[in-house]
Each structure stands twice: as structure tokens, then as C-alpha cells.
């Protein structure tokens, strides 16, 4: 993906740009900069003539503006300033990006960050603008056709009329790095499972490691069997495609600082195994590696931002297939932690991979905190829909920080409870626990299962079943929750 060149200039010279982007509120109101550009009257006139009423998300491209050296003026409607929310602001900036994409604009002066919702800080508008503009370059078509003809946008330089402070610069780089990370997450997730195999995820990690200087390690089936990852290996025994455990390390802090561990579910295709899924929409189970793709997307962003902190990514990856070797309902397996599991439903495979990956991550990297990210339960979509990811964990301070990061980036999480009452649903007569807890509270019992493998560490679990991709006519990966996790890591680096 081509990178936009971003600048921050407090007093820009209009003649240096081919397009000025101006936010406009309803009733012909605009920001004070409009007056300094001599555009107040024009905006009032457009409103009076009903040509541009400043409705939120409305855009108007005006050409040959004499005031602007014969170039373009793009007006972006934001509606009533008192009713402007994070959500409506974001949709207006998305409309702006679309209008720019449909034009020949190449060097723009963007002033829309000067009109952010009143409950947001100054940097927030810059962050959203750079994120959304860079994201508008994302195009999956090249990867789906196996071609490298990614769209070639005209836009190349974006200048914000803003003070060039450290804080503001960071907001812009964070937005851009987030977009670049999301693009990797989306590419991997959108890729069909015959291309995006566990080996492909491993190669992607190795390639990223080479470019950015990350240490990458990959465990093979034989090693994992030997180490005793009986839960993960029980899922992988049904497929001929080699499973992998991928570790990727970013070291931006001192060597003795305990890392943040991100553990991502990497099921490259989930048929359900012997507990076979129904056929309808089964293609969407190529997205069951959305957690793994998120981890790699976050590392892509870390490569751009290089914050002062240590982060390790751990990705258990396999297909979940029915076969003559597949694990069967009722089979009992021993996890790396030593706890035994009765596999009552082979479609509850995510937790079987994750429990071993969580134990492995703790044993190998002694992390200060662990966050796992997984398309774990259909129940999460029933409970929360597609707008927020489920968040559960054993440390309320950690959860509060994640909730905050999600709200700031508008990549939101919603907390669900944990507790003994739900844990009881995992009781088995034949092992330490069953891998399912019945129909009720499926998202909570799945997390309750993981909680049994994270007793000695601060841990949070993100169930992204509803948010990692969109179904229907606009089917495609979302790149979530890369924005919130990048924000969380940057906050941790500062504190």
C-alpha cells in the first residue's frame, strides 16, 4: 500500500496545494480558518441557495476556485456542531476520503481536524484523519486475484493546518501506522484458506521479522507433540496441512522488562471437525484466523511506530478438519498445563489451541500481561452483534485500560462477566473439564475455560467473532481490533 506523506504546518501557504478541504457545519457555519481563506461568504451563500447545507457526511467538490489558485475546494458537512459525535465525525471523514478518491486531488490541505466533537481532544481528529485517509488506499482486489495491481491513488500528500508538536505528530503517525497494520490484518483474513495456511502465516511473520528486526520462531507438529501440547495437537491431528506455533518478538523496551503477550487464534479454516458445521456461510470460516491476523497487524504497526515497550505475539495455527485421524467427541486430551480436557464438541476448537498457546506464552516469555484475541464464539454475535468485541478477563484495571483504548479509537469493546457460577458449566465426569459449557452464556463459558490457563497472570480475552469481518454484500475483513490494541500498547509504553 502506497504511503501518504503527512505534514503538520500551522500557517500553510495555500498556493502549495491543489485542494483545500474545509469542514462545514449546518446553517452556513464554518470554522474560523474559512474566514481567513476568504471563504465565509461562499459557504453562507451555498447554504442560502440550498446547494450545500452542511449535512453530516455530505460533500461538495468545487473546481476552479479563484481564491485557491485555480484549484479544488472540498467541503465536508458535519451537521450541527452540538450534535457531532465520534461516530458521525468518523462517517463524515470517510465521506471526505471517498470524495478525494474520486477526484484528481494530489496535494491537499486538510482542516477537518479543527472541527472535532467537543468531547474529543485535539489529537483525536488528526488521528482519525490520517487513519481514514491512509485506510482509503486499502484494496483487497490485488491479493484476491493473486496480482500485485493494488489501486494507485492520486493522493500523495496531506498537510494538516496544525501546530507541529510531538503530540500531534504522534497522533498522525499512530493513525497511519494503524491503517497500515489493519491492511495486513485484512489481507491475511480475506485470503482464502487454500492460500492463507498456517505456513503462510508463519512466512508472513518471518518476512515482517526480516523487515523490522523482530525475532520470529516457528514450532512444528513434532516439536509440539513432544512438548505436550495435547489440546492444540488434538485439533491439528485431523488435517494434513502442517500446524504451526508462531512467536514474534518486538523489543522496544529494556531487556529485563516483562513483555505484553498477544495470543491470536489462527484457525485458517474451521469446518467444525467431526462436529461438522452446517454448510450455509461455511466459507466465512476462513476468517477464523482473525485473531492471528490481528496480532500480525499490530506488529506491522509496531514496526512503524517503534514504541518503548516489549511485545510478544504468539499464534497457534491449524485447520480444523474432519478426517480418519480427527479428534472425536468424548476423546480426552492432556493440555500443556497438565490439565485434562474432554472434547465434547470438536467445533469448540479455538479454546483448545488457545489454552496451550497461553501456557506456552507464559512459560516461554513470562509476560506482565496477556491478551488473547479470538473469533471464539457464535454466541458473542448473538449477545453483542457486530459493533463491539466481547471483553472478559481477570484484572479490572487491565480491562478498564482496554475499554478506554477501544473508546478512544472507536474500535469498541464491551465487558462481559466471569465467575464461579459459569465455571461450573465446564464440569466433566471424565476429565478436569469439558471443552463446552452448554447453550447458555457460550461466550462466558469459553472465557471461563481460558481462565483456567491464565490463573497466574493478568489476562484479558477479546472475542472478535462479531467484529473481525462483515458478512453480506460487503463481505470482508474489518482490520479490527488493531486500532484499539495499538492505542493500548502506546498507552502502556507511556505509563
Binding mask 334-373 for Mn ion (x = CB under 5 A): -------------x-x------------------------
47 lines the binding site for Zn ion (CB under 5 A)? no
Q: How far is the CB of 410 from ligand BES (least distance, A)?
A: 22
C-beta of 398 vs 465, nearer to Mn ion: 465
465 lines the binding site for ligand BES (CB under 6 A)? yes
Region 58-117 residues binding ligand BES, contact defined as CB under 6 A = none
Catalytic entry in 55, 98, 277, 306: 277
Q: How far is the CB of 272 from Mn ion (least distance, A)?
A: 5
Region 278-297 residues binding ligand BES, contact defined as CB under 6 A = 288
Q: Are 464 and 375 in contact (CB under 8 A)?
A: yes
Q: Are 137 and 97 in contact (CB under 8 A)?
A: no
User: Which of 317, 321, 271 has the alpha carbon at shortest distance from 292?
Assistant: 317
C-beta of 26 vs 288, nearer to Zn ion: 288
Helices (H) then strands (E): counts for the chain: 16, 20
C-beta of 47 vs 463, nearer to ligand BES: 463
349 lines the binding site for ligand BES (CB under 6 A)? yes
291 makes contact, choosing from Mn ion, Zn ion, ligand BES, none, with CB < 5 to 8 Å by partner type, with: none
487 vs 485: CA distance, rounded Å: 5
Half-sphere exposure of 115 (CA within 13 A, CB side): 32
442 makes contact, choosing from Mn ion, ligand BES, Zn ion, none, with CB < 5 to 8 Å by partner type, with: ligand BES
351 an active-site residue?
yes
277 an active-site residue?
yes
187 lines the binding site for Mn ion (CB under 5 A)? no
479 makes contact, choosing from Zn ion, Mn ion, ligand BES, none, with CB < 5 to 8 Å by partner type, with: none
Q: Which residues of 403-423 are buried (b: 16+ CB within 10 A; e: fewer)?
A: bebbebbbbbbbbbebeeebb
**Among residues 47, 270, 319, 463, which is the contact residue for Zn ion, using CB under 5 A?**
270
SS3 assignment for 60-97: EEEEEEHHHCCEEEEEEEEECHHHCCHHHHHHHHHHHH
Q: Phi/psi zone of residue 251: left (φ > 0), alpha (ψ -120 to 50 degrees), beta?
A: beta
Cβ count near 383 (within 10 Å): 19
319 lines the binding site for Mn ion (CB under 5 A)? no
Q: What angle do CA 354, 357, 360 make, to 5 degrees?
A: 150
347 lines the binding site for ligand BES (CB under 6 A)? yes
233 makes contact, choosing from ligand BES, Zn ion, Mn ion, none, with CB < 5 to 8 Å by partner type, with: none
Cβ-based neighbours of 436, under 8 Å, separated by 6 or more: 344, 345, 348, 426, 445
481 preceded by a cis bond (ω within 30 of 0): yes
Q: How far is the CB of 346 from ligand BES (least distance, A)?
A: 8
- Give me the helix-helix angle, 290-305 and 166-190, nearest 10°: 150
C-beta of 213 vs 438, nearer to ligand BES: 438
C-beta of 135 vs 265, nearer to ligand BES: 265
**Among residues 345, 415, 428, 491, which is the contact residue for ligand BES, using CB under 6 A?**
345
Q: Pick the piece of the chain touching ligand BES (CB under 6 A) from 119-127, 183-191, 216-224, 344-352.
A: 344-352
379 makes contact, choosing from Mn ion, ligand BES, Zn ion, none, with CB < 5 to 8 Å by partner type, with: ligand BES
Q: DSSP readout, 252-288? A: -S-TTSPPEEEEE-EEEEE--TTSPPPSTTGGGGGGG
DSSP state of 10: S
261 vs 280: CA distance, rounded Å: 35
Pairing of strands 469-470, 476-477: antiparallel
Measure CA 387 to chain center.
13
C-beta of 112 vs 445, nearer to Mn ion: 445
Bridge partner list, 21: 74, 110
DSSP state of 440: T
C-beta of 88 vs 323, nearer to Mn ion: 323
270 lines the binding site for ligand BES (CB under 6 A)? yes
Q: Pick the piece of the chain touching Mn ion (CB under 5 A) from 81-89, 222-230, 264-272, 380-388.
A: 264-272
Q: How far is the CB of 337 from ligand BES (least distance, A)?
A: 20
Q: Are 265 and 361 in contact (CB under 8 A)?
A: no
463 lines the binding site for ligand BES (CB under 6 A)? no
Binding mask 347-376 for Zn ion (x = CB under 5 A): ---x--------------------------
- Residue 147: φ, ψ to 5°: -105, 165
Number of residues near ligand BES (by CB under 6 A): 15
411 lines the binding site for Zn ion (CB under 5 A)? no
Q: What angle do CA 369, 372, 377 make, to 5 degrees?
A: 150
224 vs 230: CA distance, rounded Å: 8
173 makes contact, choosing from Zn ion, Mn ion, ligand BES, none, with CB < 5 to 8 Å by partner type, with: none
Give the interface with Mn ion as residue ranges (CB under 5 A): 270, 347, 349
Q: Which residues are catalytic?
A: 277, 351
Give the interface with ligand BES as residue ranges (CB under 6 A): 270, 288, 345, 347-350, 375-379, 436, 442, 465
Give the interface with Zn ion as residue ranges (CB under 5 A): 267, 270, 288, 350
Amino acid at each position: 500500500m502506497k504511503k501518504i506523506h503527512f505534514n503538520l504546518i500551522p500557517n500553510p501557504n495555500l498556493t502549495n496545494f491543489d485542494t483545500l478541504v474545509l469542514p462545514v457545519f449546518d446553517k452556513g457555519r464554518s470554522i474560523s480558518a474559512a474566514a481567513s481563506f476568504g471563504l465565509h461568504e461562499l459557504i453562507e451563500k451555498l447554504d442560502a441557495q440550498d446547494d450545500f447545507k452542511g449535512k453530516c457526511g455530505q460533500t461538495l467538490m468545487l473546481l476552479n476556485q479563484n481564491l485557491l489558485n485555480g484549484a479544488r475546494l472540498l467541503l465536508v458537512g458535519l451537521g450541527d456542531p452540538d450534535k457531532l459525535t465520534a461516530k458521525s465525525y468518523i462517517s463524515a471523514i470517510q465521506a471526505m476520503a471517498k470524495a478525494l478518491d474520486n477526484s484528481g486531488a494530489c496535494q491537499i490541505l486538510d482542516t477537518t481536524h479543527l472541527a472535532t466533537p467537543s468531547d474529543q481532544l485535539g489529537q483525536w481528529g488528526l488521528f482519525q484523519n490520517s487513519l481514514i485517509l491512509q485506510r482509503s488506499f486499502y484494496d483487497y482486489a490485488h491479493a484476491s486475484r493473486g496480482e500485485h495491481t493494488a489501486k494507485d491513488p492520486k493522493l500523495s500528500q496531506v498537510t494538516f493546518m496544525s501546530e507541529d508538536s510531538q503530540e500531534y505528530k504522534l497522533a498522525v503517525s499512530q493513525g497511519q501506522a494503524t491503517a497500515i497494520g489493519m491492511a495486513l490484518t485484512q489481507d491475511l483474513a480475506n485470503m482464502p484458506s487454500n492460500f492463507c495456511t498456517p505456513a503462510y502465516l508463519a512466512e508472513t511473520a518471518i518476512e515482517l521479522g526480516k523487515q523490522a528486526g523482530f525475532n520470529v520462531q516457528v514450532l512444528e507438529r513434532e516439536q509440539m507433540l513432544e512438548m505436550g501440547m495435547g489440546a492444540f495437537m488434538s485439533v491439528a491431528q485431523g488435517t494434513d496441512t502442517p500446524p504451526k506455533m508462531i512467536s514474534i518478538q518486538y523489543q522496544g523496551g529494556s531487556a529485563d522488562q516483562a513483555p505484553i503477550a498477544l495470543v491470536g487464534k489462527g484457525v485458517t479454516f474451521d469446518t467444525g471437525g467431526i462436529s461438522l458445521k452446517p454448510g450455509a456461510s461455511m466459507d466465512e470460516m476462513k476468517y477464523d484466523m482473525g485473531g492471528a491476523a490481528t496480532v500480525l497487524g499490530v506488529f506491522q504497526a509496531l514496526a512503524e511506530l517503534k514504541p518503548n515497550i516489549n511485545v510478544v505475539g504468539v499464534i497457534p495455527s491449524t485447520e480444523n478438519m474432519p478426517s480418519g485421524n480427527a479428534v472425536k467427541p468424548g476423546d480426552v486430551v492432556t493440555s500443556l498445563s497438565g490439565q485434562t480436557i474432554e472434547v465434547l464438541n470438536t467445533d469448540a476448537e479455538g479454546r483448545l489451541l488457545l489454552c496451550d498457546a497461553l501456557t506456552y506464552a507464559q512459560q516461554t516469555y513470562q509476560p506482565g500481561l496477556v491478551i488473547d484475541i479470538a473469533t471464539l464464539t457464535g454466541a458473542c454475535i448473538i449477545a453483542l452483534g457486530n459493533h463491539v468485541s466481547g471483553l472478559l478477563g481477570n484484572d479490572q484495571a487491565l480491562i478498564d485500560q482496554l475499554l478506554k483504548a477501544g473508546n478512544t479509537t472507536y474500535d469498541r469493546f464491551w465487558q462481559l462477566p466471569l465467575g464461579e457460577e459459569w465455571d461450573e458449566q465446564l464440569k466433566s465426569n471424565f476429565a478436569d473439564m469439558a471443552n463446552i459449557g452448554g447453550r447458555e452464556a457460550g461466550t462466558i463459558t469459553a472465557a471461563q475455560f481460558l481462565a483456567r490457563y491464565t490463573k497466574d497472570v493478568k489476562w484479558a480475552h477479546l472475542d472478535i467473532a462479531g467484529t473481525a469481518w462483515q458478512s453480506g454484500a460487503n463481505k470482508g475483513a474489518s482490520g479490527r481490533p488493531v486500532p484499539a490494541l495499538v492505542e493500548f500498547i502506546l498507552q502502556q509504553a507511556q505509563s
